[in-house]
Structure 1
Amino acid sequence: MAVLTVTPGPDMALVLRNGVRGGTAAALWTGLGCCAGIAVHALAAVIGLSALLAASATAFTVVKLIGAAYLVWLGVQALWAARHGLRGLTASAATVETEPVARTAAFRQGVLSNVLNPKIALLFLTLLPQFVAAGESRMATSAVLAAIFLALAVLWWTVFSFLVGRLGRLLSLPKVKLTLERLTGAVLVALGLRVALE
């Protein structure tokens, strides 16, 4: 579970992007939003709703395409902000105009990026049953495992957000900020396209 939590993906790109824009607080609220999105899928898996999503090819595809479009949209926003910031950097090396992310917006982005990712639902459907022994309550054991997974996720995003904050000075340098904005934007677009085509 710990390995799955720290594996790079859309969440890490989004948390890093918002952390560069808004510091530790924005990174942390994005991470907590990601955890809230995971909690939605965990609850759905425990009560059996995820199985319905996985069983319906149409529903799965619709959620997948909406999620992919959302990631691409976030990536395009980052690339647009980088382009706008590059103009500001050309005019003045001291400033780069990238709009900071409010905590509520950061949290909402984290939630939506995971709620609209049906692969997380499949992850819970395939992972949790492997730890349920014969004779055990599937719902109770799955709930405990989901809670452990969420606790690890909250711990990871807290640590990661703190590290982003500690690197704040370096990350706030105009050229570094633009590079990260472009990089995370490109990664989000690429991940969105990959999700759509899988």
Structure 2
Amino acid sequence: MDTSFLAFLAISAVVIATPGPDTALTIRNTMAGGRPAGLTTALGVSVGQLVWAVATSLGLVAILLASEPIFHALRLIGAAYLIFLGVQSLRSAFTGASASSAGQRGHPAHALSPGKAFIQGVVNDLANPKMAVFFAGVLPQFASQGQGMLSHLILLGLVFSLLTFVWLALYASAIASAGTLLRSPRVRRSIDGIAGLALVGMGVRVATSER
């Protein structure tokens, strides 16, 4: 196997395994809608990453990064979205009336639908300016130059998105498998609170970061 591709896999593994907005959202949505919502969130995140890969191959991400006003607007939109999701989770933690509140038999009373979870995953990833920086800064370093570079960039993006899906799907499955423990309202509200604080904190960090 090409050493350059192995290096790409190693860097991708580190980036993917580092907790961030996509991980926090997957945990939150799995709590709110069970395994289906968690898996579709992971799928949505992966689709968002594939969009970034295609945009990078077409040169659109480079244009985005070169335009300070557009990049700044994307950063603020992404930050606002993360804070919005975080506030929702915090409100659920304090009131106990949330999509992750369990019924008497452990089933969500108002479960987050897989479709909505998928959309949230896509939006969450596309609104993350760090993804634009990663795809524009890392992928071209591992793509073959000249003819075929576009397809190579898309292939690397596909590999990255598949690895992300597998990692987040494992997160979702592990949380869903712990359903008996997580049926406790106190535990659910604690996790809602932790996820909410994490999302708000990430939103503030995105809003105040330079790049």
TM superposition score normalised by structure 2: 0.84
Within a 5 Å distance, the mapping from 1:117-128 to structure 2 comes to 117-128=128-139
SS of the counterpart of 1:8? coil
Q: Tell whether the 8 Å contact from 2:32 to 2:111 is kept in structure 1 after alignment.
A: yes
Deviation at residue 135 of structure 1 after TM alignment: 5.0
The C-alpha deviation readout for 1:123-159, integer Å capped at 9, x for no partner, is 0111112113455632122122111111111222222
Partner of 1:185: 196
Cα distance, 1:137–1:193 mapped onto 2, change above 3 Å: same
Q: Tell whether the 8 Å contact from 2:42 to 2:169 is kept in structure 1 after alignment.
A: yes
Cα distance, 1:32–1:134 mapped onto 2, change above 3 Å: closer
SS of the counterpart of 2:112? coil
| Structure 2 residue identity aligned to 1:125 | A
Partner of 2:155: 144
1:44 aligned residue (32, 52, 55): 55
Partner of 2:101: none
Partner of 1:61: 72
Structure-1 separation of matches of 2:145 and 2:49: 26
Partner of 1:23: 34
| Structure 1 residue identity aligned to 2:22 | D
Structure-2 separation of matches of 1:138 and 1:103: 35
Cα distance, 1:181–1:98 mapped onto 2, change above 3 Å: farther
Cα distance, 1:94–1:179 mapped onto 2, change above 3 Å: farther
Structure-2 separation of matches of 1:125 and 1:131: 11
1:115 aligned to 2:129?
A: no
Number of equivalences: 191
SS of the counterpart of 2:96? helix
Structure-1 separation of matches of 2:171 and 2:147: 35
Partner of 2:83: 72
Deviation at residue 101 of structure 1 after TM alignment: 1.1
| Structure 2 residue identity aligned to 1:176 | V
Q: Percent identity?
A: 39
Q: Tell whether the 8 Å contact from 1:85 to 1:98 is kept in structure 2 after alignment.
A: no
Which range moves more in the overlay, 149-158 or 184-193?
149-158
The CA RMSD over aligned residues, in Å, is 2.0
Structure-2 separation of matches of 1:51 and 1:176: 44
